[in-house]
Protein backbone atom coordinates (compact mmCIF):
# COMPACT_ATOMS: atom_id res chain seq x y z
CA UNK A 1 0.00 0.00 0.00
CA UNK A 2 2.82 2.34 0.95
CA UNK A 3 4.64 1.55 -2.26
CA UNK A 4 1.53 2.17 -4.23
CA UNK A 5 1.05 5.58 -2.59
CA UNK A 6 4.59 6.71 -3.30
CA UNK A 7 4.27 5.46 -6.88
CA UNK A 8 1.06 7.45 -7.17
CA UNK A 9 2.71 10.57 -5.77
CA UNK A 10 5.71 10.22 -8.02
CA UNK A 11 3.49 9.58 -11.01
CA UNK A 12 1.42 12.62 -10.07
CA UNK A 13 4.47 14.88 -9.85
CA UNK A 14 5.73 13.71 -13.27
CA UNK A 15 2.32 14.30 -14.77
CA UNK A 16 2.17 17.79 -13.26
CA UNK A 17 5.60 18.59 -14.67
CA UNK A 18 4.49 17.53 -18.15
CA UNK A 19 1.07 19.19 -17.99
CA UNK A 20 2.65 22.54 -17.07
CA UNK A 21 5.48 22.18 -19.56
CA UNK A 22 3.20 21.37 -22.47
CA UNK A 23 0.65 24.04 -21.64
CA UNK A 24 3.21 26.85 -21.38
CA UNK A 25 5.11 25.75 -24.50
CA UNK A 26 1.93 25.62 -26.52
CA UNK A 27 1.03 29.16 -25.41
CA UNK A 28 4.47 30.64 -26.07
CA UNK A 29 3.25 33.15 -28.67
CA UNK A 30 0.41 34.34 -26.45
CA UNK A 31 2.85 34.92 -23.57
CA UNK A 32 5.32 36.82 -25.76
CA UNK A 33 2.56 38.99 -27.23
CA UNK A 34 1.29 39.84 -23.76
CA UNK A 35 4.80 40.74 -22.60
CA UNK A 36 5.27 42.97 -25.63
CA UNK A 37 1.97 44.73 -24.95
CA UNK A 38 3.08 45.37 -21.36
CA UNK A 39 6.41 46.87 -22.49
CA UNK A 40 4.73 49.06 -25.13
CA UNK A 41 2.48 50.59 -22.47
CA UNK A 42 4.76 53.42 -21.35
CA UNK A 43 4.96 53.65 -17.55
CA UNK A 44 8.14 55.60 -16.85
CA UNK A 45 8.34 56.62 -13.21
CA UNK A 46 8.58 59.52 -12.67
CA UNK A 47 5.81 60.30 -13.43
CA UNK A 48 4.31 56.78 -13.39
CA UNK A 49 1.38 56.30 -15.80
CA UNK A 50 0.74 52.76 -14.54
CA UNK A 51 -2.91 53.11 -15.61
CA UNK A 52 -1.75 52.30 -19.17
CA UNK A 53 -0.25 49.00 -18.05
CA UNK A 54 -3.28 48.22 -15.90
CA UNK A 55 -5.42 48.69 -19.04
CA UNK A 56 -3.32 46.12 -20.95
CA UNK A 57 -3.75 43.66 -18.09
CA UNK A 58 -7.47 44.42 -17.83
CA UNK A 59 -7.92 43.82 -21.58
CA UNK A 60 -6.19 40.47 -21.28
CA UNK A 61 -8.32 39.46 -18.29
CA UNK A 62 -11.47 40.51 -20.12
CA UNK A 63 -10.45 38.42 -23.11
CA UNK A 64 -10.18 35.31 -20.91
CA UNK A 65 -13.16 36.15 -18.69
CA UNK A 66 -11.47 36.90 -15.35
CA UNK A 67 -12.87 39.62 -13.10
CA UNK A 68 -10.53 42.30 -11.79
CA UNK A 69 -10.45 45.51 -9.82
CA UNK A 70 -8.54 48.63 -10.72
CA UNK A 71 -7.66 50.76 -7.71
CA UNK A 72 -6.52 54.26 -8.60
CA UNK A 73 -4.25 55.99 -6.11
CA UNK A 74 -4.00 59.26 -8.09
CA UNK A 75 -4.75 60.40 -11.64
CA UNK A 76 -2.95 58.02 -14.06
CA UNK A 77 -1.65 55.97 -11.12
CA UNK A 78 -3.34 52.58 -10.85
CA UNK A 79 -3.08 49.19 -9.23
CA UNK A 80 -4.92 46.12 -10.48
CA UNK A 81 -5.94 43.05 -8.48
CA UNK A 82 -7.60 39.80 -9.44
CA UNK A 83 -8.17 36.51 -7.66
CA UNK A 84 -8.37 32.95 -8.91
CA UNK A 85 -10.46 31.04 -6.40
CA UNK A 86 -10.05 27.28 -6.45
CA UNK A 87 -12.02 26.74 -3.22
CA UNK A 88 -10.18 26.61 0.09
CA UNK A 89 -8.54 29.21 2.25
CA UNK A 90 -4.80 28.80 1.68
CA UNK A 91 -3.70 31.78 -0.39
CA UNK A 92 -0.72 32.60 -2.57
CA UNK A 93 -0.15 36.21 -3.61
CA UNK A 94 1.80 37.15 -6.73
CA UNK A 95 3.01 40.72 -6.80
CA UNK A 96 4.83 42.80 -9.37
CA UNK A 97 5.26 46.46 -10.16
CA UNK A 98 4.04 48.04 -13.38
CA UNK A 99 6.21 51.16 -13.33
CA UNK A 100 9.67 51.26 -14.87
CA UNK A 101 12.55 53.72 -14.64
CA UNK A 102 12.87 56.26 -17.49
CA UNK A 103 15.06 55.16 -20.43
CA UNK A 104 17.62 57.97 -20.21
CA UNK A 105 19.63 58.85 -23.34
CA UNK A 106 17.73 57.22 -26.25
CA UNK A 107 20.81 57.24 -28.50
CA UNK A 108 22.29 54.53 -26.27
CA UNK A 109 19.42 52.16 -27.08
CA UNK A 110 19.81 49.84 -30.06
CA UNK A 111 16.05 49.18 -30.10
CA UNK A 112 13.54 51.77 -29.03
CA UNK A 113 12.77 51.21 -25.31
CA UNK A 114 9.05 50.98 -26.12
CA UNK A 115 9.48 48.75 -29.19
CA UNK A 116 9.48 45.41 -27.36
CA UNK A 117 11.54 44.15 -30.31
CA UNK A 118 11.86 40.36 -30.44
CA UNK A 119 15.36 39.57 -31.65
CA UNK A 120 17.22 36.26 -31.31
CA UNK A 121 15.05 34.97 -28.50
CA UNK A 122 15.16 38.20 -26.50
CA UNK A 123 12.53 40.86 -25.99
CA UNK A 124 14.09 44.33 -25.71
CA UNK A 125 12.63 47.35 -23.97
CA UNK A 126 12.54 49.40 -20.79
CA UNK A 127 11.17 47.15 -18.08
CA UNK A 128 11.74 43.90 -20.00
CA UNK A 129 13.78 42.65 -17.06
CA UNK A 130 12.55 44.97 -14.30
CA UNK A 131 9.89 43.74 -14.28
CA UNK A 132 7.38 43.38 -17.07
CA UNK A 133 8.89 39.98 -17.85
CA UNK A 134 7.99 38.87 -14.32
CA UNK A 135 4.54 40.45 -14.57
CA UNK A 136 3.81 38.62 -17.83
CA UNK A 137 4.99 35.33 -16.32
CA UNK A 138 2.95 35.68 -13.13
CA UNK A 139 -0.27 36.79 -14.82
CA UNK A 140 -0.01 34.17 -17.57
CA UNK A 141 0.77 31.45 -15.02
CA UNK A 142 -2.62 32.08 -13.38
CA UNK A 143 -4.49 32.33 -16.69
CA UNK A 144 -2.95 29.09 -17.97
CA UNK A 145 -3.50 27.32 -14.66
CA UNK A 146 -7.21 28.08 -14.92
CA UNK A 147 -7.28 26.46 -18.36
CA UNK A 148 -6.07 23.10 -17.12
CA UNK A 149 -8.69 20.68 -15.82
CA UNK A 150 -5.92 18.33 -14.75
CA UNK A 151 -4.30 20.95 -12.49
CA UNK A 152 -7.54 22.43 -11.21
CA UNK A 153 -8.88 19.18 -9.89
CA UNK A 154 -5.80 18.78 -7.68
CA UNK A 155 -5.91 22.32 -6.32
CA UNK A 156 -7.62 23.94 -3.33
CA UNK A 157 -7.00 27.55 -2.35
CA UNK A 158 -6.71 31.00 -3.88
CA UNK A 159 -4.20 32.91 -5.94
CA UNK A 160 -4.24 36.69 -5.80
CA UNK A 161 -2.41 38.76 -8.37
CA UNK A 162 -1.58 42.35 -7.42
CA UNK A 163 0.10 44.43 -10.11
CA UNK A 164 1.10 47.65 -8.40
CA UNK A 165 2.41 51.15 -9.02
CA UNK A 166 5.32 53.30 -7.90
CA UNK A 167 7.86 50.69 -6.77
CA UNK A 168 10.67 52.61 -8.49
CA UNK A 169 10.04 55.61 -6.23
CA UNK A 170 8.85 54.51 -2.81
CA UNK A 171 5.51 52.79 -3.42
CA UNK A 172 3.36 55.61 -1.98
CA UNK A 173 0.93 55.20 -4.90
CA UNK A 174 1.44 51.46 -5.12
CA UNK A 175 1.75 48.69 -2.59
CA UNK A 176 1.91 51.03 0.43
CA UNK A 177 -1.33 52.66 -0.67
CA UNK A 178 -2.94 49.32 -1.42
CA UNK A 179 -1.89 47.86 1.93
CA UNK A 180 -3.55 50.86 3.64
CA UNK A 181 -6.81 50.98 1.73
CA UNK A 182 -7.22 47.35 0.62
CA UNK A 183 -5.07 45.33 3.00
CA UNK A 184 -7.91 42.78 3.23
CA UNK A 185 -7.66 42.06 -0.51
CA UNK A 186 -3.97 41.20 -0.15
CA UNK A 187 -4.29 38.80 2.77
CA UNK A 188 -2.23 35.73 1.93
CA UNK A 189 -0.14 32.97 3.48
CA UNK A 190 2.64 33.26 0.93
CA UNK A 191 3.81 35.80 -1.60
CA UNK A 192 6.16 35.67 -4.55
CA UNK A 193 7.41 38.87 -6.17
CA UNK A 194 8.57 38.33 -9.75
CA UNK A 195 11.54 40.72 -9.66
CA UNK A 196 14.50 39.62 -11.81
CA UNK A 197 16.61 37.29 -9.68
CA UNK A 198 18.97 35.87 -12.28
CA UNK A 199 22.70 36.53 -12.44
CA UNK A 200 24.03 36.21 -16.00
CA UNK A 201 26.16 33.07 -16.25
CA UNK A 202 25.25 31.89 -12.74
CA UNK A 203 21.58 31.00 -13.00
CA UNK A 204 18.84 31.99 -10.61
CA UNK A 205 18.82 33.17 -7.04
CA UNK A 206 15.89 32.95 -4.65
CA UNK A 207 15.83 36.03 -2.46
CA UNK A 208 14.47 35.57 1.06
CA UNK A 209 15.34 38.91 2.62
CA UNK A 210 16.75 42.32 1.89
CA UNK A 211 18.81 45.05 3.44
CA UNK A 212 17.25 48.34 4.41
CA UNK A 213 18.21 51.90 3.54
CA UNK A 214 18.17 54.74 6.07
CA UNK A 215 19.17 58.15 4.78
CA UNK A 216 20.26 60.30 7.71
CA UNK A 217 20.66 64.05 7.25
CA UNK A 218 22.75 65.44 10.08
CA UNK A 219 22.69 69.25 10.21
CA UNK A 220 25.45 70.60 12.42
CA UNK A 221 25.06 74.11 13.79
CA UNK A 222 27.81 76.59 14.66
CA UNK A 223 27.98 80.36 14.98
CA UNK A 224 28.70 82.94 12.31
CA UNK A 225 31.66 85.27 12.61
CA UNK A 226 33.96 87.28 10.36
CA UNK A 227 36.63 85.00 8.94
CA UNK A 228 39.35 87.46 10.00
CA UNK A 229 38.66 86.51 13.64
CA UNK A 230 37.34 82.92 13.40
CA UNK A 231 37.66 82.31 17.14
CA UNK A 232 34.62 84.50 17.66
CA UNK A 233 32.45 81.96 15.86
CA UNK A 234 31.96 78.20 15.75
CA UNK A 235 32.84 76.71 12.35
CA UNK A 236 30.13 74.21 11.38
CA UNK A 237 32.05 73.00 8.30
CA UNK A 238 35.06 72.07 10.44
CA UNK A 239 32.84 70.30 12.96
CA UNK A 240 31.15 68.39 10.14
CA UNK A 241 34.53 67.33 8.71
CA UNK A 242 35.58 66.09 12.14
CA UNK A 243 32.34 64.13 12.32
CA UNK A 244 32.84 62.56 8.87
CA UNK A 245 36.45 61.62 9.70
CA UNK A 246 35.31 59.82 12.82
CA UNK A 247 32.34 58.01 11.28
CA UNK A 248 34.22 54.72 11.28
CA UNK A 249 34.10 54.83 15.09
CA UNK A 250 30.31 54.59 15.03
CA UNK A 251 29.20 51.92 17.51
CA UNK A 252 26.32 50.13 15.82
CA UNK A 253 24.80 47.18 17.66
CA UNK A 254 25.95 43.83 16.27
CA UNK A 255 23.28 42.00 14.30
CA UNK A 256 23.63 38.57 12.81
CA UNK A 257 23.20 38.47 9.03
CA UNK A 258 20.25 36.28 7.96
CA UNK A 259 22.73 34.09 6.06
CA UNK A 260 26.35 34.06 7.33
CA UNK A 261 29.16 35.13 4.99
CA UNK A 262 30.84 31.69 4.86
CA UNK A 263 27.51 30.10 3.96
CA UNK A 264 26.88 32.59 1.13
CA UNK A 265 30.42 32.01 -0.15
CA UNK A 266 29.76 28.27 -0.14
CA UNK A 267 26.45 28.68 -1.96
CA UNK A 268 27.83 30.97 -4.66
CA UNK A 269 31.20 29.26 -5.04
CA UNK A 270 30.04 26.31 -7.11
CA UNK A 271 28.28 28.57 -9.60
CA UNK A 272 31.07 31.14 -9.73
CA UNK A 273 33.57 28.39 -10.58
CA UNK A 274 32.07 28.27 -14.09
CA UNK A 275 32.89 31.94 -14.65
CA UNK A 276 36.33 32.69 -16.02
CA UNK A 277 36.26 36.47 -15.61
CA UNK A 278 38.30 37.17 -12.46
CA UNK A 279 36.90 40.68 -12.04
CA UNK A 280 33.47 39.06 -11.70
CA UNK A 281 34.75 37.03 -8.75
CA UNK A 282 36.12 40.14 -7.08
CA UNK A 283 32.74 41.82 -7.54
CA UNK A 284 31.02 38.72 -6.16
CA UNK A 285 33.23 38.73 -3.06
CA UNK A 286 32.38 42.39 -2.44
CA UNK A 287 28.72 41.66 -3.06
CA UNK A 288 28.67 38.83 -0.53
CA UNK A 289 30.42 41.04 2.00
CA UNK A 290 27.78 43.72 1.45
CA UNK A 291 25.05 41.17 2.17
CA UNK A 292 26.46 40.31 5.57
CA UNK A 293 27.46 43.70 7.00
CA UNK A 294 25.91 46.99 7.96
CA UNK A 295 27.39 49.50 5.56
CA UNK A 296 27.33 53.28 5.68
CA UNK A 297 28.94 56.14 3.82
CA UNK A 298 28.88 59.92 4.01
CA UNK A 299 27.55 60.63 0.54
CA UNK A 300 26.82 64.37 0.55
CA UNK A 301 28.01 67.42 2.41
CA UNK A 302 27.01 71.06 2.11
CA UNK A 303 27.75 74.09 4.22
CA UNK A 304 28.85 77.69 4.21
CA UNK A 305 27.62 80.49 2.00
CA UNK A 306 30.41 83.07 1.68
CA UNK A 307 34.18 82.86 1.62
CA UNK A 308 34.69 85.40 4.39
CA UNK A 309 32.03 84.13 6.82
CA UNK A 310 32.61 81.38 9.39
CA UNK A 311 29.76 79.03 8.51
CA UNK A 312 27.04 78.41 11.07
CA UNK A 313 25.52 75.37 9.32
CA UNK A 314 26.77 72.26 7.57
CA UNK A 315 24.74 69.24 6.57
CA UNK A 316 26.13 65.73 6.12
CA UNK A 317 24.08 62.98 4.51
CA UNK A 318 24.92 59.44 5.59
CA UNK A 319 23.47 56.56 3.64
CA UNK A 320 23.06 53.45 5.80
CA UNK A 321 22.50 50.01 4.24
CA UNK A 322 21.42 47.88 7.14
CA UNK A 323 20.85 44.21 7.84
CA UNK A 324 17.46 42.94 9.03
CA UNK A 325 17.36 43.47 12.78
CA UNK A 326 19.05 46.89 12.90
CA UNK A 327 16.43 49.47 13.80
CA UNK A 328 16.41 53.11 12.75
CA UNK A 329 16.39 54.25 16.41
CA UNK A 330 19.54 52.22 17.07
CA UNK A 331 21.27 53.91 14.15
CA UNK A 332 20.24 57.43 15.18
CA UNK A 333 21.28 56.89 18.79
CA UNK A 334 24.70 55.60 17.68
CA UNK A 335 25.09 58.75 15.57
CA UNK A 336 24.06 60.94 18.51
CA UNK A 337 26.55 59.17 20.75
CA UNK A 338 29.37 59.83 18.28
CA UNK A 339 28.40 63.50 17.95
CA UNK A 340 28.36 63.74 21.72
CA UNK A 341 31.79 62.07 22.01
CA UNK A 342 33.15 64.62 19.55
CA UNK A 343 31.75 67.47 21.63
CA UNK A 344 29.24 68.46 18.94
CA UNK A 345 26.22 69.67 20.87
CA UNK A 346 24.14 71.63 18.37
CA UNK A 347 22.70 69.52 15.61
CA UNK A 348 19.47 68.19 14.12
CA UNK A 349 18.83 64.81 12.50
CA UNK A 350 16.18 64.11 9.89
CA UNK A 351 15.56 60.85 8.04
CA UNK A 352 13.67 61.59 4.80
CA UNK A 353 14.19 58.10 3.33
CA UNK A 354 13.45 54.91 5.23
CA UNK A 355 13.33 51.51 3.56
CA UNK A 356 13.06 49.01 6.38
CA UNK A 357 15.07 45.80 6.01
CA UNK A 358 13.03 42.62 6.01
CA UNK A 359 13.52 38.89 6.04
CA UNK A 360 11.37 35.81 5.58
CA UNK A 361 10.57 34.20 8.93
CA UNK A 362 9.94 30.46 8.67
CA UNK A 363 8.35 29.73 5.31
CA UNK A 364 10.45 26.65 4.54
CA UNK A 365 7.58 25.24 2.45
CA UNK A 366 7.55 28.38 0.27
CA UNK A 367 11.30 28.18 -0.29
CA UNK A 368 11.01 24.50 -1.15
CA UNK A 369 8.15 25.05 -3.58
CA UNK A 370 10.03 27.71 -5.57
CA UNK A 371 13.28 25.83 -5.32
CA UNK A 372 11.77 22.61 -6.64
CA UNK A 373 10.05 24.46 -9.45
CA UNK A 374 13.31 26.16 -10.42
CA UNK A 375 15.17 22.86 -10.30
CA UNK A 376 12.62 21.28 -12.61
CA UNK A 377 12.26 23.99 -15.20
CA UNK A 378 15.68 25.67 -15.11
CA UNK A 379 17.51 22.42 -14.40
CA UNK A 380 19.48 24.13 -11.66
CA UNK A 381 19.19 24.75 -7.94
CA UNK A 382 18.76 28.49 -7.27
CA UNK A 383 21.08 30.10 -4.73
CA UNK A 384 19.01 31.07 -1.68
CA UNK A 385 20.31 34.48 -0.69
CA UNK A 386 19.34 37.96 0.47
CA UNK A 387 19.22 41.10 -1.65
CA UNK A 388 21.27 44.27 -1.29
CA UNK A 389 18.49 46.60 -2.50
CA UNK A 390 14.97 47.27 -1.31
CA UNK A 391 11.82 45.94 -2.96
CA UNK A 392 8.11 45.89 -2.13
CA UNK A 393 8.77 42.68 -0.19
CA UNK A 394 9.38 44.86 2.87
CA UNK A 395 5.76 45.99 2.79
CA UNK A 396 4.41 42.47 2.39
CA UNK A 397 6.66 41.11 5.15
CA UNK A 398 6.72 43.94 7.67
CA UNK A 399 3.31 45.52 7.21
CA UNK A 400 1.12 42.61 6.14
CA UNK A 401 3.05 39.75 7.76
CA UNK A 402 3.13 37.63 4.59
CA UNK A 403 5.89 35.09 4.03
CA UNK A 404 7.50 36.55 0.92
CA UNK A 405 10.28 35.63 -1.51
CA UNK A 406 11.57 37.14 -4.74
CA UNK A 407 12.01 34.98 -7.80
CA UNK A 408 11.61 35.99 -11.42
CA UNK A 409 12.87 36.07 -14.99
CA UNK A 410 15.63 38.42 -16.08
CA UNK A 411 19.10 39.27 -14.89
CA UNK A 412 19.29 41.67 -11.97
CA UNK A 413 22.27 43.45 -13.52
CA UNK A 414 20.18 44.45 -16.59
CA UNK A 415 17.62 46.28 -14.47
CA UNK A 416 17.67 50.04 -15.26
CA UNK A 417 20.37 49.52 -17.95
CA UNK A 418 20.45 50.66 -21.59
CA UNK A 419 19.29 47.96 -24.03
CA UNK A 420 17.47 46.14 -21.25
CA UNK A 421 16.09 42.79 -22.42
CA UNK A 422 14.65 39.54 -21.15
CA UNK A 423 15.10 36.11 -22.73
CA UNK A 424 11.90 34.50 -23.96
CA UNK A 425 13.00 31.13 -22.60
CA UNK A 426 13.50 32.68 -19.16
CA UNK A 427 9.96 34.13 -19.20
CA UNK A 428 8.51 30.74 -20.21
CA UNK A 429 10.47 28.92 -17.52
CA UNK A 430 9.42 31.39 -14.84
CA UNK A 431 5.78 30.96 -15.93
CA UNK A 432 6.21 27.21 -15.41
CA UNK A 433 7.81 27.73 -12.00
CA UNK A 434 4.92 29.94 -10.86
CA UNK A 435 2.40 27.32 -11.99
CA UNK A 436 4.37 24.70 -10.16
CA UNK A 437 4.40 26.88 -7.02
CA UNK A 438 0.60 27.25 -7.17
CA UNK A 439 0.21 23.50 -7.59
CA UNK A 440 2.64 22.70 -4.82
CA UNK A 441 1.41 25.15 -2.17
CA UNK A 442 -2.26 24.74 -2.95
CA UNK A 443 -2.20 21.01 -3.56
CA UNK A 444 -5.53 19.49 -2.52
CA UNK A 445 -3.88 16.44 -0.92
CA UNK A 446 -1.36 18.58 0.99
CA UNK A 447 -3.99 20.97 2.31
CA UNK A 448 -6.29 18.20 3.43
CA UNK A 449 -3.44 16.85 5.55
CA UNK A 450 -3.03 20.19 7.31
Q: For Zn ion, give the closer residue by CB, 130 or 426.
A: 130
Tell the smallest beta-carbon distance from residue 195 to Zn ion (Å). 5
Under a CB-based contact definition with an 8 Å cutoff, are residues 257 and 291 in contact? Answer: yes
| Interface segment toward Zn ion; rule CB under 5 A; list 83-91, 133-141, 191-199, 424-432 | 191-199
The least distance separating Zn ion from the CB of residue 129, rounded to whole angstroms, comes to 8
Could you tell me the smallest distance in angstroms from the CB atom of residue 357 to Zn ion? 17
- Nearest to Zn ion of 66, 114 (CB atom): 114
| Residue 39 touches Zn ion, criterion: CB under 5 A | no
Gap between the Cα atoms of 163 and 313, Å rounded: 45
210 belongs to the binding site for Zn ion (CB under 5 A): no
One of 37, 50, 99, 130 touching Zn ion (CB under 5 A): 130
* Candidate list 32, 61, 131, 441; residue touching Zn ion; CB under 5 A: 131
CB of 37 to Zn ion, least distance (A): 19
C-alpha distances in Å from residue 370, one per residue of 177, 191, 356: 28, 11, 25
CB of 97 to Zn ion, least distance (A): 6
Cβ count near 374 (within 10 Å): 25
Residues 312-331 that bind Zn ion (CB under 5 A): none
Closest to Zn ion by CB, 133 or 373: 133
Binding segment toward Zn ion, per CB under 5 A, in 39-47, 188-196, 270-278, 404-412: 188-196
Taking CB under 5 A as the binding criterion, the range among 25-33, 83-91, 128-136, 233-241 that sits at the site for Zn ion is 128-136
Instruction: Give the whole-angstrom CA distance, residue 330 versus residue 357.
Output: 14
User: Vertex 244, ends 242 and 250: CA angle to 5°?
Assistant: 105
Phi, psi of 438 (to 5 degrees): -60, -50
Q: Does 392 bind Zn ion (CB under 5 A)?
A: no
- With 0-12 / 13-18 / 19 or more C-beta atoms within 10 angstroms meaning exposed / middle / buried, residue 212 is buried
Tell me whether residue 382 or residue 408 sits nearer to Zn ion (CB atom): 408
β partners of residue 220:
314, 347
Q: Which is nearer to Zn ion, 131 or 140 (CB)?
A: 131
Q: In the complex with Zn ion, which residue's Cβ is closer, 84 or 199?
A: 199
Residue 142 or 415 with smaller CB distance to Zn ion: 415
Contact status: 386 vs Zn ion (CB under 5 A): no
* Rounded Cα gap, residues 325 and 76, in angstroms: 37
**Bridge pairing between strands 77-85 and 69-74:** antiparallel
Rounded to whole angstroms, what are the CA distances from 107 to 151, 222, 305, 418? Answer: 47, 48, 39, 10
Query: What's the CA gap between 146 and 449, in Å, rounded?
Result: 24
Site residues for Zn ion per CB under 5 A: 130-131, 195
Amino acid sequence: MKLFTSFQTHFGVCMTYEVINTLVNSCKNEIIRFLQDLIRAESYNPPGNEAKVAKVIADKLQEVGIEYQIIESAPRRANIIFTADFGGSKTVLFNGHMDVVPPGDLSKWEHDPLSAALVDGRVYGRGATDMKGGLASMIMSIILYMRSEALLKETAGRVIMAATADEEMNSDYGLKYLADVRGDALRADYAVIGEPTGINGMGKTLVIGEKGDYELHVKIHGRKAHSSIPSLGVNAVELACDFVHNLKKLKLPKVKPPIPEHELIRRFAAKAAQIKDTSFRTRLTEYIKALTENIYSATMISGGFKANVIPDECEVVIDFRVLPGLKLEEVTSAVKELLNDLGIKEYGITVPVVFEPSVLEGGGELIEAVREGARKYYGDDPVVTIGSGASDARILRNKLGIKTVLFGPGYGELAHSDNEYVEVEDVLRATKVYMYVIHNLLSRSKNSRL
